[in-house]
Amino acid sequence: MSNPPRNPATPRKRLLIVDVSALCREGLRAIISQNKRFAVADCAYNGVGVTDLVARNRPDLLVIEPFAGGRDGVLLVKDLAMRFQKLRILVVSEKPEEVYAERILRAGANGYWMKSDPSEELIRAVETVLSGELYVSPRVAFLAVQKLAEAPRSNDKPTGNLTDRELHVFDLIGAGHGTGRIAENLGLSRKTIETYKDRIKTKLGYQDARELHDGARKWFDSVKA
């Protein structure tokens, strides 16, 4: 009697890595490729053309740094999630997840991994997202629970009250960009950017442009620390 046919090997999950830094791209590829269940389909240099790369490669998971080059990373993720509704998205970034993870997940991503975290956590993040679950670090999961359990502290600057676009403008101000450069970067008019700045001043309690710029710089420095 002949032996029953063996089950075909489970196909490896295809991953697409997008990061402006060649060092980061190769580092991510090296870490992920250690797991034989994953295959890196391609590596992209930046967010330009990432839609075409996803359409061409049809990866199971997109591993992306969406904020490089001053881009609105939340908007980029939101656009990708809308275009490719079956695509799983894991954001890898230096931006503090305490500030951005919730926004990124609301935009349609499935996980957020900080580049400063251990490499084994990257593999865990990839596995978690591919399994259909959401991934954030244990510390952010704890903060999320704490946020639900505690009332906001009155001395906190309410950056959480800013919209995604307002936070991006605030971040660019903190990075030292003037109104004209921000307008060019976002493809908006100077008047629109001034309107955003007025809204930010109102929400954060700044009296004038100097306070806004000083506050933005301090915030930018604090999240980079």
Averaged pLDDT, 94-107:
88
pLDDT tens-place string over residues 12-25: 899 999 998 888 99
- d(CA 130, CA 124) in angstroms, rounded, equals 10
pLDDT tens-place string over residues 37-49: 999 987 877 656 8
For residue 155, what pLDDT is reported?
42
Residue 32 pLDDT more than 60? yes
Q: Provide the percentage of residues in the chain whose pLDDT is more than 70.
A: 85
Q: What is the mean pLDDT of the chain?
A: 84
For residue 102, what pLDDT is reported?
87
2-6, 18-22, 44-48, 140-144: least confidently modelled range = 2-6
Residue with tokens 């900080």: 114
Domains along the chain with CATH numbers: 13-145 (3.40.50.2300), 159-224 (1.10.10.10)
Averaged pLDDT, 180-208:
86
48-52, 62-66, 212-216: least confidently modelled range = 48-52
Residue 82 pLDDT more than 90? yes
The CA dihedral of 18, 19, 23, 27, to the nearest 10 degrees, is: -50
Give 214-217's long-range contacts (Cβ < 8 A, gap of 24+).
215/157, 216/170, 216/171, 216/173, 216/174, 217/173, 217/174, 217/176
For residue 157, what pLDDT is reported?
55
Distance spanning both ends of the chain, measured CA to CA: 68
For residue 88, what pLDDT is reported?
96
pLDDT tens-place string over residues 150-163: 544 444 456 778 88
pLDDT band at 217 (very low <50, low <70, confident <90, very high): confident
∠ CA 187-202-170, rounded to 5°: 40
- What one-character-per-residue DSSP string does 37-84 give? TEEEEEEESSSTTHHHHHHHH--SEEEE---GGG--HHHHHHHHHHH-
